[in-house]
Amino acid sequence: MRRLELTEGAPAHGIELTEAEARAVALSEIAELNRAPGETGWQVAPGRKIGVVQVDDLQISVTPKIPVERLIFLMGYATAPAYWREHSVQLDPEESLPEALAHAFARLAQRATEQGLLQGYRTVDDSVQVLRGRIRVSEQIGRRHGAGLPLDVTYDDFTVDVAENQILLAAVTKLLRIPGLDARRRPTLQRLRLRLQLAGVAELRRGEVLPLWTPSRLNSRYVPALRLAERILAGESFEQRRGELHVSGFVLDMWKIYEDFVGVALREALALRGSASLQHRMHLDIARRVDLRPDFLWTGHEGQQIVVDAKYKSEKSAGYPQADLYQLLAYCTVLGLREGHLVYAKGNEVEIVHEIQGAGVAIHCHTLDLDQPPHTLLHQIASLAARLAD
């Protein structure tokens, strides 16, 4: 097995690849490939995604530039802030991204199911020999033409085959398919999958929409595991053949993880002072043909508004991209605001304010240091939120 381990934002590495291997890696978007004219070797640099991709006997992994433990916190807090504010999952700093996800999910799932699998009522339509529940009269007449048996009925079944358990099973199945998952992590995941399957939990078909569930007092012990399971299932997983090559992988968009975290963290920090809309939908033009989607729009109790866009960028010495300023200017113009805010993952840049000529708009560029413990990171968000609101 050939292995190439890259870190987000790090320089390119040289490696020998066939043309078919190079095409497969490039299509996965986990790496960017370049080759000088006349050379046979490729320069492989981290791409737009993090994760792992395997092309036959070649495995390329890209880890985030922040500790994997911090990445798990960002993913968890964006979906269950109340839990992750008080809890953390201790991980080995040497663990790869797949291993860390498997470890974190296994611990949360074990905690969720240690008191037994969650059960609930599920409405079932069935054909039976003995009356159970309510007869579906229209089906009985239309399909059976008045025959006495079997009976088309609807009944409520108290079962473990509920949405919560189906989502856990889907997540553990997806983790077990990740290439390069350490053998130490597989037994725990396999036991969990077997327990769910033997209990009668139905396995979702690949591509099937996840069943809906609602947090409640009854499933509260499941919520942290379910939230992380949803993030795992949102990752791009693939297993296919491209020509003679077998390609498989699991990749995540780091920018999406960062944007979700910043939006939820700001919403939590400002919850007592107003209401927030994440990925707020509005339009640039009067005809409503051009969509705009600011990551965070907050409205205070007195009607004041704050618009924020979170931008996850790799370190670049050239400073902040100009396109981001144009985007915030469009938000401020539509909303009639004199200030807008960009929140970057901290790199080489310093915080700065851009006064836009002729527009009367100031765009503030803030930085957030992700290489900090969770409590320090949340303190940064709280301080930023107070500055924005004041």
Taking CA 228 as the corner, what is the angle to CA 226 and CA 232, rounded to the nearest 5 degrees? 110
Q: How far apart are CA 293 and CA 297, in angstroms?
A: 10
Contact between 122 and 159 under an 8 Å Cβ cutoff? The reply is yes
| Dihedral pair phi/psi, residue 117, rounded to 5° | -70, 140
Q: List the chain domain ranges.
A: 1-65, 66-119+160-236, 120-159, 255-389
Residue 155 pLDDT: 65
Question: Following DSSP, what letter does each residue of 133-163 receive, concatenated?
Answer: SEE-HHHHHHHHTT-SSSEEEEEEEEES-SH
263's tokens: 């939006």
Q: How far apart are CA 367 and CA 343, in angstroms?
A: 6
Contact between 268 and 81 under an 8 Å Cβ cutoff? The reply is yes
Chain position carrying tokens 């949340």:
378
Residues of the chain below pLDDT 50:
314-315, 317
Contact between 19 and 47 under an 8 Å Cβ cutoff? The reply is no
pLDDT digits (tens, 9 = 90+) for 36-75: 777 778 999 998 889 899 888 889 999 888 888 888 899 8
- Residues 255-389, CATH architecture: 3-Layer(aba) Sandwich (3.40)
Give residue 190's Cα distance to chain centre: 23
Which of these, 13, 56, 16, lies nearest to 32 by C-alpha position?
Answer: 13
Strand 361-368 vs strand 339-345: parallel, antiparallel, or unpaired? parallel
Task: Give me the numbers of helices (H) and strands (E) for the chain, helices first please.
Answer: 11, 19
Beta bridge partners of 31: 46
DSSP state of 11: P
DSSP state of 220: G
Q: Is 276 helix (H, G, I), strand (E, B) or coil?
A: strand
Prior bond of 215 cis (ω within 30°): no
DSSP state of 383: H
What is the identity of the amino acid at 386?
A
Which of these, 185, 186, 200, 172, lies nearest to 109 by C-alpha position?
Answer: 172
DSSP state of 279: T
What is the identity of the amino acid at 292?
L
What is the identity of the amino acid at 63?
T
Q: How far apart are CA 301 and CA 22, in angstroms?
A: 55
368's tokens: 């957030």
Contact between 291 and 234 under an 8 Å Cβ cutoff? The reply is no
